[in-house]
Structures are given as structure tokens and as C-alpha cells.
């Protein structure tokens, strides 16, 4: 089950917000991206996906993926 809108964080928040804007369920996004529904759920809950999974989700949603080193400085 997905978190209510606004509670996801980071990449997962972008995935969730865009998915909801399109009116897609997690199952629909999973099918379009070629990943499992539990994977979509984990990403939306804030778990960092592999780069491959991030690309699949981003492509399905029309998002871009930016790679950062994690430093804020």
C-alpha cells in the first residue's frame, strides 16, 4: 500500500507525486516500468532504488534522473 501523498521523500516523492498526477496505481506504474509493485512501494517509502530501477521508473513517468555524490557542500 502506498503512503499518503506528501509523506514520501526524495526520489520516491517525485515518483509518487508524478504517479498520482497521472492517476496510476502502483500496479500500473510497476507494469509500465517493468518492476514489481513491491519495488514501487519501497521506492515511494524512501528506500533508495538501484540505478537500473530508478531509470526504469523515471522513464515510465517521463522524469529525469540526476546522479549526485550525496554531499551538500
DSSP codes, 18-58 = HHHHHT--HHHHHHHHTS-HHHHHHHHTTPPPPHHHHHHHH
Give the model's pLDDT for residue 1: 47
Give the model's pLDDT for residue 10: 84
Q: Give the mean pLDDT of 45-69.
A: 88
Mean pLDDT of the chain: 86
Distance between CA 28 and CA 6 in Å, rounded?
Answer: 20
* Domain boundaries, given as residue ranges, for the chain: 10-61
Does the CA dihedral 5-44-72-63 come out positive or negative?
negative
Q: Give the mean pLDDT of 34-50.
A: 95
Architecture, CATH, for domain 10-61: Orthogonal Bundle (1.10)
pTM: 0.81
Give the model's pLDDT for residue 8: 67
Distance between CA 57 and CA 36 in Å, rounded?
Answer: 11
Amino acid at each position: 500500500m502506498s503512503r499518503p501523498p506528501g509523506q514520501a521523500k526524495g526520489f520516491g516523492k517525485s515518483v509518487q507525486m508524478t504517479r498520482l498526477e497521472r492517476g496510476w496505481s502502483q500496479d500500473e506504474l510497476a507494469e509500465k516500468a517493468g518492476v514489481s509493485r513491491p519495488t514501487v512501494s519501497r521506492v515511494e517509502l524512501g528506500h533508495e532504488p538501484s540505478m537500473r530501477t530508478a531509470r526504469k521508473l523515471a522513464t515510465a513517468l517521463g522524469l529525469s534522473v540526476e546522479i549526485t555524490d550525496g554531499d551538500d557542500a
